[in-house]
Amino acid sequence: MEERAMFCPACGSKNREAARFCARCGNNLPTPGTALPSRKGDELLRQLDLCIVMDATGSMQDYIEMTRKNLQAFVQKLSLHPVQPQLAYGLVLYRDHPATEKNWVTRRYAFTEQLDDLQQALNEAHAKGGGGDGAEAVVDGLYDACYVMKWRENAHKVILLAGDAPPHGWGNRRDRYPKGCPCEPEHGTVISIAQNARQRGITIFSLGIGDNQAMQKSFEQIAGTSGGRYVPIKSAGKLIDEVLSIMLSEVGKVEIDQVVYRAYQPGATPQAIAALTGLKIGDVDESMNRLHQKRMLQ
C-alpha cells in the first residue's frame, strides 16, 4: 500500500503521514483526517450534473432535433473517458413572455441519471412560436436552472445554454421589453445569475446560434462571468460536437480533482501538491477551489 504524505503548511515539504513535526523546518504539522475517506470521495467526485438550458421557440427546432438524434452517441462517447463520470441530466426549456394558456415561459425536467428520461423530455420538446420580438426569456431559463433545479452537492456542475436570441434589455432592435425582462425585479439579471452560479460552483457554457450581435454579446458575458466560455454554432450539425468537446474538457477537470483530492493533506499548499503530482500549480489551485465549493475539503 502506498504511504500517504503529510505536507508542511510552512515550507511545503513532504513528511510521513504520522509525523507531528516537519523534518525540514520543525513546524507543527496539522492533524490528518479533514477530507472524506478516499474511496467515498472518489465516488462523489465522479458525479457530473449537466443541465441543458435551451431556447424552445420556432427557429430552434432543427437544433432540438439534432440534440435528440445524437444524444445516445454523445453519452456513449462521454462514458468512454477513464473517469467514467456518473452523469445526471437536467433540461430547462424557455420561450418568452407573456405566459398564456397556450404558451409557457419555462418548462423544467428534473435531474435524472436515466438517459431515457432526458430522451423522452427532448421528444416532448417541440419548438413553437415565441415572443416575435427577437429577444427571449433567457433570464427565466437560467434562473430555473441555477435556483430551482436540484443539483447534487458534490457534483461537478455544468450548464449548457443554447439559443439564437438575446435576453430582453440587451439592445436588440426588436424587443418588447427594452428595459429588461419583466421577471428581473424578482429573478435578477442574466449577469447576476451567472455571478451567483460561479459562487455555487456552476459553470455556464453559452452556445450561440446564428449571428445576432446582441445575442453574441450577452452570451459571451454570461459565460465569462460564470467562468465558462462562449462557443459560436454555425449549423445544427455542429452543435453536438461542440457539446461533446466542452463536456470532455469538464470531465478532464474531474480527473484533476481526483488526483488533487488523493494527494491532499491538511495544510498542504498548491505548490506542494503540484510538486507531488506533477500538475501545474494553477490547475491545483483551481481544483482546490472546486473541492472546497463541493465541500470535499474542510
State the CB neighbour count (10 A cutoff) for residue 127: 19
Percentage of the chain modeled with pLDDT above 90: 64
pLDDT digits (tens, 9 = 90+) for 166-182: 999 998 888 989 999 99
Domain count, the chain: 1
pLDDT digits (tens, 9 = 90+) for 23-40: 877 766 655 544 555 667
In this predicted structure, what is the pLDDT of residue 1? 40
Q: Which of 117, 124, 123, 135 is nearest to 182 (CA)?
A: 135
Q: Taking 90 as the threshold, does the pLDDT of residue 16 lie above it? A: no
Q: Residue 179: inside a domain, yes or no?
A: yes
Q: Residue 38: inside a domain, yes or no?
A: no
Q: Which of 80, 81, 82, 89 is nearest to 48 (CA)?
A: 89
DSSP per-residue codes, 162-218: EESSPBTTS--SS-S-TT--TTHHHH--HHHHHHHHHHTTEEEEEEEES--HHHHHH
Q: Residue 22: inside a domain, yes or no?
A: no
Neighbouring-strand partners of residue 47: 86
In this predicted structure, what is the pLDDT of residue 53? 97
Q: Taking 90 as the threshold, does the pLDDT of residue 17 lie above it? A: no
Choose between 265 and 170: higher pLDDT: 170
Q: Residue 72: inside a domain, yes or no?
A: yes
Average pLDDT estimate for 287-294: 93
Average pLDDT estimate for 37-55: 87
CA distance 271 to 279: 9
In this predicted structure, what is the pLDDT of residue 102? 77
In this predicted structure, what is the pLDDT of residue 139? 98
Listed ranges 93-102, 151-160, 265-274; the one with the highest mean pLDDT: 151-160
Choose between 1 and 140: higher pLDDT: 140
Per-residue confidence band for 130, with pLDDT thresholds at 50, 70 and 90: low
Domain containing 68 — which CATH number? Answer: 3.40.50.410
Q: Which of 14, 105, 8 is nearest to 55 (CA)?
A: 105
Listed ranges 2-6, 35-39, 100-104; the one with the highest mean pLDDT: 100-104
Q: Residue 257: inside a domain, yes or no?
A: no
Average pLDDT estimate for 221-243: 93
Per-residue confidence band for 209, with pLDDT thresholds at 50, 70 and 90: very high
In this predicted structure, what is the pLDDT of residue 235? 86
In this predicted structure, what is the pLDDT of residue 2? 44
Q: Taking 80 as the threshold, does the pLDDT of residue 273 lie above it? A: yes
Buried b (16+ CB within 10 A) or exposed e, 62-75: ebbebbeebbeebb
Q: Residue 268: inside a domain, yes or no?
A: no
From the centroid of its chain, how far is CA 41? 20
Q: Taking 80 as the threshold, does the pLDDT of residue 108 lie above it? A: yes
Q: Residue 42: inside a domain, yes or no?
A: no
Percentage of the chain modeled with pLDDT above 70: 88
In this predicted structure, what is the pLDDT of residue 19? 77
Q: Residue 61: inside a domain, yes or no?
A: yes
- Residue for grid cell 431556447: 55
Average pLDDT estimate for 285-293: 94
Range of the domain at 58: 47-251
